[in-house]
Homo-oligomer: A and B are copies of this chain.
Amino acid sequence: MIMAPAGAKRNILERLDAGEIVIGDGGFVFALEKRGYVKAGPWTPEAAAEHPEAVRQLHREFLRAGSNVMQTFTFYASDDKLENRGNAQRFTGTQINEAACDLAREVANEGDAMVAGGVSQTPSYLSCKCEDEVKGIFKRQLDVFVKKNVDFMIAEYFEHVEEAEWAVQVLKTSGKPVCATLCIGPDGDLNGVSPGDCAVRLVKAGANIVGINCHFDPMTCVKTVKMMKEGVERAGLKAHYMVQPLAFHTPDCNCQGFIDLPEFPFGLEPRILTRWDMHKYAREAFNVGIRFIGGCCGFEPYHIRAVAEELATERGCLPAASEKHGNWGAGLEMHTKPWVRARARRDYWEKLKPASGRPKCPSMSTPDSWGVTKGHADLMQHKEATSQEELKPLFEKAKASH
């Protein structure tokens, strides 16, 4: 395997401290939904137990694409979540979590990858806000990850920094390195805490690596991590930074992110990033000082490969799957038609503004009005206009007097 260096694997903090780039994987729930193994709505990961071959194959594809991290497919895998709203399961939560750990480890061992266990926001936080109860949930999940000896932990997808702090505090008890990512944008968490302040609180809670995942497009997430980094530095603290954004363009999102877009989750296709968008993302993340760079919902293996190709010089290696790609799509030099061969160059793809092929569709949506809105969008609303009835006498008068 090209990317597997000799010797024992090093810890994520050893790598980051040494200035290395760590490449994450992509979002499993979206990818496996399209493959037929995850149900949009509950978004639960029972496929780890039900269809291990499908989960294993997706891990392998991300490994081939350059991922250094195999995240266990355990998103929303607590028992209360798994059974939520009538989502009956044939496997117990423990079975699912353990199967997911085993699959991640099996594939990680095929290459230069670490296994990361994960916890995410809970319905309990919103319904009771009782610190002990919420922490208990994280603790029960952590027990499996400790038993299965994952390499490090990620607390991800939190909309409220307080809940993320609680998660970090629990995960720290394992002695493993802890990452914490919020799913917020530049406007801050849902209580209005700024990205900079959020980051400071997470670092103080014990997180070694902080950043953003999900909910917004890559450039917005990088911008938000930059704000977090500036906050941490202003506070005189130290941390590493990570980002795992959507692979969807979301210029029209409000502060709750892509869930409020009318296209979520079954009409997002026109927003999918190209591999060339990913090059720009990877470069920008690197320039900003982020060294753990991955993806979330919408990322397919070729997106991660593009990240790895953009950073190949800095990392000193290309992913295995680049054998099936070539530098900036150089494989096109073998195309039969000369005008397609003429596209086998970086300049062509960097400048392309891809058409949507959907001339009856707009380029931006209005986020769902049930969500929290802000700013300019309000101004476009027309609220207290005069009714037609009121105006009639004036029109009569206008006509008569002329």
Residues of A at under 8 Å CB distance from B? 1-2, 33-42, 53-54, 57, 60-61, 64-65, 84-87, 123, 217, 219-220, 222-223, 248-252, 259-276, 279-280, 283-284, 287, 300-302, 305, 309-310, 312-314, 316-340, 342-346, 349-350, 352-366, 368, 370-371, 376, 379-380, 382-386, 388, 390-392, 394-395, 397-399, 401-402
Closest Cβ neighbor of A317 among chain B residues: B394
CA distance A368 to B398 in the complex (A): 33
**Distance between A394 CB and nearest chain B CB, rounded to angstroms:** 5
CB neighbours (8 Å) of A217 from chain B are: 357
Contact (Cβ within 8 A) A320 B269: no
**Distance between A30 CB and nearest chain B CB, rounded to angstroms:** 11
CB neighbours (8 Å) of A42 from chain B are: 331, 334-335
CA distance A399 to B1 in the complex (A): 11
Contact (Cβ within 8 A) B259 A349: no
Q: Which residue of B259, B313, B332, B360 contacts A337 across the interface (Cβ within 8 Å)?
A: B259
Contact (Cβ within 8 A) B327 A392: yes
CB neighbours (8 Å) of A398 from chain B are: 2, 317-320, 322-323
CB neighbours (8 Å) of A313 from chain B are: 386, 390-391, 394
Contact (Cβ within 8 A) B39 A326: yes
Contact (Cβ within 8 A) B64 A340: no
Contact (Cβ within 8 A) B54 A36: no
Q: Return 26 A-B CB contacts under 8 Å, by A number.
A: A36-B64, A36-B301, A40-B331, A53-B60, A54-B60, A54-B61, A87-B334, A265-B332, A266-B343, A270-B272, A271-B356, A279-B385, A284-B382, A287-B384, A312-B386, A319-B398, A323-B402, A326-B395, A342-B370, A354-B365, A356-B356, A356-B362, A356-B363, A362-B362, A362-B363, A363-B363
For the complex with contacts A33-B324, A262-B354, A269-B269, 11 further pairs of A-B residues with Cβ separation under 8 Å are A1-B401, A41-B344, A85-B334, A123-B336, A217-B357, A252-B357, A263-B355, A265-B340, A280-B380, A312-B391, A360-B364
**Distance between A216 CB and nearest chain B CB, rounded to angstroms:** 11
Closest Cβ neighbor of A400 among chain B residues: B2
CA distance A142 to B385 in the complex (A): 40
CA distance A86 to B370 in the complex (A): 46
Contact (Cβ within 8 A) B305 A379: no
CA distance A335 to B260 in the complex (A): 13
Can you list the 10 inter-chain pairs with the closest CB atoms, starting with the nearest?
A36-B321, A249-B357, A41-B331, A339-B370, A359-B364, A271-B357, A267-B354, A355-B365, A270-B356, A41-B334
